[in-house]
Structure 1
């Protein structure tokens, strides 16, 4: 099933976005302290933790010093931009917003400590990088905390939670779509072997589930290579996959691992297509020795148009982001961060209209967003916590001439194998 074109959807949702993006960008400092019990505020709006009569405080648990440092910085700055724009436009429900940030460096202990520290003081989290870390506190979030969390993590294990809601296809569905692209392009065919290099833990193993489903549907065989986030040299993995005779490789890891895999393969004269999940690329890679190889035969799947797209939404965001952070580079973390914050904002607006800015009220408000289009190429449905907000993926290819380093080579679509797939629950 293929939905209307990305350009058409982007035009539908762009007017409000473009109006917001013309606002200047700077920091914000209004404090929105936490409250431990629900209470009735001025105007009859019910409030609770993280909300006062004048402010709304959100949290961000990011990675600025670990394996996803470059993306974490972009996600955070994009969300700070959104908050400044929102405050300049009058805030939400007569309140100014604040984003309180903690860097966990992709360390599980720091991630848990950061969540424990901020949870009592914020309404919820507009950012939480790392599927394993979100999964580690899932029971707390669902059982007692109930603050809405929009993670920069797309593991299917997070589905079913009323409070943890991803924006985009889960890793398994994204992987099915990525393999489907190679099949459509006749780069692989029934009977072939494909390799899959993946991080141990939630992210990589959920992606592996997707590749196994795609393989079963298409008559492929998956050759697995599990790695750790601290493994940066993919020489051994390339050697093993080459010896196994695979015709293509899926990588579900970080940008460094993707660059190493593609670079090592090219240096050894092994020319096979490589597809990666949305977090397996950063534009900084194009300035490394692997840059040329990445532009030759590497592809990335994601549930959004890239920041370098000429569609109105991404173009307006890119201009506003560069105005706010002139020394910062552009990457897809900008889009991921901004869209997550914008989704949170829509839930807050609906909760305000319902006169319930408690954690439970915001969670209920999100369920009403059944056709949300922020202008970035895909319409999302948040009405069912058990389902991803979309099954569509955009396929992109690295390109040093495109701002942000990725150009679209296939607009948003869902393959038949991804449409029929049921994520593990």
Structure 2
């Protein structure tokens, strides 16, 4: 079930579940600020009109007191209902319906068992009568351990709160973790151990690991959320890529530099990128932007771990007015040091920045020269979703230093839970049921942790909006927002597709 929009926004379709004794499921539209034709009389709920798309089964809810409602279909009380509310709780024929907070959104889903005539929930691997198990295959001891551990804290925050509110489909969500230490063989061992025991994978960290596992996901039909924003993953229908892809991030970031006067049409720009899936996808963005704005692009491919000082010197000689970095965080620091005395800004993908650099001797140079473009909100972002995450993080982990990876984990949790809730509403918690729910999920509001997520456009990015931030040691998480979520006009023109 997809999260609802707040009042005052356009209409949105949601599933209302099974109604009455064996009556077919109908869809219900939430209509704000109007009372459309064919709508049921008295269909008012927190100022929201509820309209059925089947006039023969007029469905509506009327308010009783301040915290519950009675739901009807054609004069009968409904046995089961899944609806979305801005606030409050609902009761249908005495059956409690619980409130589930997802970021800044509130979902309302059935908390009791099936009504008479209702089909039981079909289940698959990882699903019992009381639990849903999800796999986390990540790097806890290798080069990305700090990022992975922060992201896991985001998962723990989200699913801890979700379980306190009843879980999904009356089941608690459990996470089964395996550490691969950024080793492909260990990742494969962990995957084959977890795969029969989980409904899907909440996290697969590392491009080489994802590439090795990806073919088997097609066979097992398990959904997986990679810790990556590569557009190449969009071609796999089982990959839940949460947020804007690397190429579109680069376009948005360059658009920011252009609008603020750092670069101009016809300028020369450089792009130092890893010779990897990440780097090549990011390069697509700078290639496209340079073509559209008549710029000269000087690309420099490097290997992981390589010293990039020579590439920086070459771009300086070429007269580059700005440099895009799609490298490792260590290479970002090296590039900044090598650019001493050169005033060109460095635009950095989120994967290329680690706030730990702000504790090093190059901290001031990073603060002065670097801008980070990201599909995920920095930790200190002043938006409803990030604020809620920050408050929850400080309560649960008061002695832990936060990063934006916490918000990433929380956003992935929101997306996966929305898919599971939709599968629950369709009474199908199998892997095929999850796949259908995933492909039918068209609007997940993360409260500003990401742009609105849309997975129903198969082969397209779930979001096309980015944040631009500046490193700041005085800001929680190490990044201060320079520009909130936005989308370049070039992003619409490029229209990234799966390859």
Shorter-chain TM-score tier: 0.7 to 0.9
Instruction: Output aligned runs, 1:20-99, within 5 Å.
Output: 44-99=120-175
Instruction: Return the structure number with greater strand share.
Output: 2
Q: Is the 8 A contact 1:58 1:126 kept in 2?
A: yes
User: 2:225 matched to which residue of 1?
Assistant: 150
Establish whether residue 338 from structure 1 lines up as the match of residue 413 from structure 2: no
Look up the SS of the partner of 2:242 in the other structure: coil
- 1:280-359 map, 5 Å: 280-359=352-431
User: 1:236 maps to what in 2?
Assistant: 310
| Deviation of the 1:176 alpha carbon | 1.1
Equivalent residue, structure 2, for 1:406: 479
Give yes or no for the alignment of 1:257 onto 2:331. yes
**Structure 1 residue 211: Cα displacement:** 1.1
Q: What are the Cα deviations for residues 328-377 of structure 1, in whole angstroms up to 9, with x where unaligned?
A: 21111001111101110111111111110001111211223212111125
Which residue number corresponds to residue 33 of structure 1?
Answer: none
2:460 is the alignment partner of 1:384 = no
Task: Provide the residue aligned with 2:248 in structure 1.
Answer: 173
1:19 positional shift: 8.0
CA deviation map 1:19-62 (0-9, x unaligned): 899xxxxxxxxxxxxxxxxxxxx971101111111111101122
**Aligned equivalent of 1:271, options 318, 343, 355:** 343
Report what 1:363 is aligned to. Answer: 435
1:142-221 map, 5 Å: 142=218, 144-221=219-296
Count of aligned pairs between the two proteins: 392
Structure 1's 219 and 65: CA in aligned 2 closer, same or farther, altered over 3 A?
farther
Q: Contact 2:104 / 2:447 at 8 angstroms: preserved in 1?
A: no
Q: Distance in 2 between matches of 1:310 and 1:191?
A: 35
CA contact (8 A) 2:135 2:177 kept: yes
Matched, 1:226 2:295: no
Aligned counterparts of 1:140 and 1:391: Cα–Cα separation in 2: 28
Distance in 2 between residues matched to 1:281 and 1:260, nearest whole Å? 12
8 Å CA contact 2:313–2:338 kept in 1: the answer is: no
Determine which structure has greater relative contact order: mean sequence separation of CA pairs < 8 Å that are 6+ residues apart, divided by chain length. 1
On the 8 A contact 1:13/1:375 being kept in 2, the answer is no
Compute the displacement of 1:234 (Å): 2.9
**Whole-angstrom CA distance in 1 between matches of 2:292 and 2:209:** 31
Partner of 1:38: none
Counterpart-to-counterpart distance in 2, 1:180 and 1:263: 25
In the TM superposition, residue 210 of structure 1 has moved relative to its aligned partner by 1.3
- SS of 2:225's equivalent? coil
CA–CA separation in structure 1 for the residues paired with 2:104 and 2:145:
30
- Residue 293 of structure 1: how far off its partner (Å): 1.4
Cα–Cα, structure 1 residues 121 and 319, in superposed 2: closer, same or farther, change >3 Å?
same
Indicate if the aligned counterparts of 2:104 and 2:446 stay in contact, CA closer than 8 A.
Answer: no
Distance 1:371 1:409 in 2: 26
Aligned Cα RMSD in Å? Answer: 2.4
| Pair 1:136 & 2:212 matched | yes
| Structure 1: tracts of 5 or more residues without a match | 1-7, 22-41
Secondary structure at the residue paired with 2:271?
strand
* C-alpha separation in 2, matches of 1:113 and 1:243: 48
SS at match of 2:350: coil
1:403 deviates by: 0.9
Question: Which range moves more in the overlay, 250-259 or 330-339?
Answer: 250-259
Q: Conserved in 2, the CA contact under 8 Å of 1:165 and 1:385?
A: no
Whether the aligned pair in 2 keeps the contact of 1:395 and 1:410 (CA below 8 Å) is yes
> How many angstroms apart in 2 are the aligned matches of 1:113 and 1:176?
38
Evaluate the alpha carbon distance shift between residue 420 and residue 354 of structure 1 in structure 2; reply closer, same or farther with a 3 A threshold.
same
- Using structure 2 for the length normalisation, give the TM-score: 0.74
Asked if the contact 2:289/2:490 (under 8 Å) is kept, the reply is yes
* Offset from partner CA, 1:217-249 (integer Å, 9 cap, x none): 111222222222333x43222222222322111
> 1:109 aligned to 178, 185, 204, which one?
185
1:247 counterpart residue number: 321
> Higher helix fraction: Structure 1 or Structure 2?
1
TM-superposed CA distance for 1:322, in Å, is: 2.4
* 1:138 Cα offset (Å): 2.3
Contact 1:13-1:374 at 8 Å conserved across structures: no
Asked if the contact 1:131/1:202 (under 8 Å) is kept, the reply is yes
Residues 163 and 363 of structure 1 are in contact (CA less than 8 Å); yes or no, is this contact kept in structure 2? yes
Residues 369 and 123 (structure 1), Cα distance of their counterparts in 2 relative to 1, 3 Å cut: same
**Computing the radius of gyration over CA atoms, which structure comes out larger, 1 or 2?**
2
- Residues 1:13 and 1:177: Cα distance change in structure 2 (over 3 Å): farther
Residues 202, 416 of structure 2: 8 Å contact kept: yes
- Taking the aligned partners of 1:14 and 1:210, their CA distance within structure 2 comes to 38
Residue 418 (structure 1) aligns with: 491
Q: 1:422 to 1:321 in 2, by over 3 A?
A: same
